[in-house]
A and B are shown apart, each in its own frame.
Chain A
Amino acid sequence: DSGVTQTPKHLITATGQRVTLRCSPRSGDLSVYWYQQSLDQGLQFLIQYYNGEERAKGNILERFSAQQFPDLHSELNLSSLELGDSALYFCASSPRGLQPSYEQYFGPGTRLTVT
């Protein structure tokens, strides 16, 4: 158990819909990262937040957005969903400081299925 929690574990929805994925980082970690993992794309970095502020952006679509709240939990919002958005979405947190870190601790993931 990494200490990072994610909800829900599974999510099934239809194309065009909007969903919100939630993540709680390890106690004390200020940085939260979001990743998407699909069979054909591998593990893709989406976005990083540090103490409520966006710090780095990866391959995140404009239909996707995220935020980190004062209690440090984070939410990833996916809208206008397409079949291709079906994937595992992971949240990770890191014990390091402001800069993105290579020592990250991943949650169990949310499996999103778009039908």
Chain B
Amino acid sequence: LAKTTQPISMDSYEGQEVNITCSHNNIATNDYITWYQQFPSQGPRFIIQGYKTKVTNEVASLFIPADRKSSTLSLPRVSLSDTAVYYCLVGDRGSTLGRLYFGRGTQLTVWP
């Protein structure tokens, strides 16, 4: 399982774009990068998943450089409700290991 490294916390203000970077130097060829969001006392919520270049959905964008050793989750124009913990996970989308290692994630706090 590829190990990931994320900042422990980040602060932002409403309306700003937030970029959270995750390092995964040991990513394997078949690994995908997945991001989850978790609010206090709620289950994590799947945000986005990608393999290379850029993926965008209605919630976020995921930028993955050519070497795939890092990835950046981009949240456009954050609001107070985006305050949450964000987890980066890396692994084979069809993994037989069966375990998701969430780590400690990044606590994003959005201020008014």
Contacts and interface: CB of A to CB of B under 8 A. Distances in A.
B49 interface: yes
Interface string B31-60: 010100010011111100100000000000
A99 B44 CA distance: 20
A43 B44 contact: yes
Interface stretch (A65-73, A77-85, A104-112): A104-112
B112 to A, nearest CB: 27
Contact of A111 (B41, B45, B49, B93): B41
B97 A109 contact: no
B26 interface: no
Contacts, number: 68
A18 interface: no
Given A102-B93, A109-B41, A45 B104 contact: no
Contacts of A88: 41
B103 A56 contact: no
Q: Which of B38, B41, B97, B100 has the most CB of A within 10 A?
A: B100
Contacts of B99: 45, 56, 58, 100
B100 A106 contact: no
Interface of A: 2, 4, 33, 42-43, 45, 48, 55-58, 88, 90, 92, 96, 99-109, 111
